[in-house]
Amino acid sequence: MLEEVEVPYPLVEERRRALLALILVGAAPTLSTLLSYNAGDGAISQTIFVFTKLWLLCVPVIWFLKVDQGALSWSKPEQGGYAMSIGLGIGMSVVMLLAWLLLGDAIDAKLLSDALEPVGLLDPKVYLAATIYWILINSLLEEYVFRWFLVTKSETLVGTGNPAIILSALIFVVHHTVALAIFGFPWWANLISSIAIFIGGAVFSWLYVRYRSVWIPYIAHAICDVAVFGVGAIILF
């Protein structure tokens, strides 16, 4: 006969808080993507975009300071990992470029243009500014959110190692899948892309778990974004 194991209350409470944190932060990018698309008007969608970025910037740090009673740091990469990150970033970028060469004809450029036009991304100057922002700032923000905060909360909720890596990667892929559907990717191309993004998210999470610094996965993430926006420019212009 199996004995029922009673989980200590503090651990149960920690898991409840971790789940709430995952919902509050992890769902925000997907909600923002859906609301921005349905808003239609450029000013409204941009307001939603800015609000979401502020939410993703502020909520994790406020939670960490007030709920977790933690102390902030610059997440210095004291265990190395630079070469690993650069190598993985280049490797994933090469795979993405090869996939685009093979499957790029399936992308509906007109539908993609229609989806991006309300936010001004068909203007080459705006696109260049957005590219710089996404590579230098947004990639770092996503590492701060999805790797530092959500990986840590996933570890509390489901355990360290692979369970936390898988859960955080699943949360990471959701808003990308929604965005790709909006941008006109057929279901099968979206599925392949989502699997690739999940693998990329898992790699980024593994880098964070291995080296415990957001700067290490950020390097790989930024390299991948260079490839993504390069392909986007070829399609649009």
pLDDT per residue as tens, the chain (237 positions): 444 445 455 578 899 999 999 999 999 999 988 888 777 666 787 788 889 989 999 999 999 999 998 888 888 888 889 999 999 999 999 998 998 888 777 777 777 777 777 667 788 899 999 999 999 999 999 999 999 999 999 999 999 889 999 999 999 999 999 988 887 778 888 898 899 999 999 999 999 999 999 999 999 999 999 999 998 888 888
Quote the pLDDT of residue 183.
76
CA atoms within 13 A on the CB side of 202: 12
Task: Evaluate whether 194 touches 177 at the Cβ level (below 8 Å).
Answer: yes
**Residue 126 has which token pair?**
């705006």
Supply φ then ψ for residue 3, to 5 degrees: -90, 140
Quote the pLDDT of residue 7.
47
Alpha-helix runs per DSSP H in the chain:
9-26, 28-39, 42-62, 82-103, 109-116, 124-133, 139-142, 150-158, 162-182, 187-211, 215-236
Task: Evaluate whether 223 touches 204 at the Cβ level (below 8 Å).
Answer: no
**Residue 210 has which token pair?**
């291995």
Kindly report whether the global pTM for this prediction surpasses the value 0.95: no
Supply φ then ψ for residue 115, to 5 degrees: -75, -30
Quote the pLDDT of residue 26.
93
